[in-house]
Homo-oligomer: A and B are copies of this chain.
């Protein structure tokens, strides 16, 4: 875990908002056809709520993924993103013990 990369990823209002949406996808996004919310939420749905362009949202999701905070699954034309809860647990412990 690259600490600086993780904190940079978290240093943006919209990216924090996306993480918060992904915490309760059924509350924040319309039903997913495929496998409920198990794969996460696709880029287009996140884009639709974000108020930013598709390219910006795609870039933001990539940076969150590079930081290890979310993971992606490609299914057909869609890329689904979901939170990596282990990373948040690890970060919480890191701050508690090491930072």
On A, residues with C-beta under 8 Å from B are: 3-4, 7-8, 10-13, 16, 19-20, 88-89, 91-93, 95-96, 99
Distance in Å from the Cβ of A83 to the closest Cβ of chain B? 10
By beta carbon, the residue of chain B nearest A5 is B11
Distance in Å from the Cβ of A32 to the closest Cβ of chain B? 23
Task: Specify how many copies of this chain sit in the oligomer.
Answer: 2
> Which chain B residues border A12 with CB–CB below 8 Å?
4
Supply 9 further A-B pairs (C-beta < 8 A) apart from A88-B95, A91-B95, A92-B96.
A3-B10, A4-B12, A7-B7, A8-B11, A10-B99, A19-B99, A89-B96, A92-B93, A95-B95
By beta carbon, the residue of chain B nearest A13 is B4
A11 touches which one: B4, B91, B92, B96 (CB < 8 A)?
B4
By beta carbon, the residue of chain B nearest A94 is B92
Distance in Å from the Cβ of A15 to the closest Cβ of chain B? 9
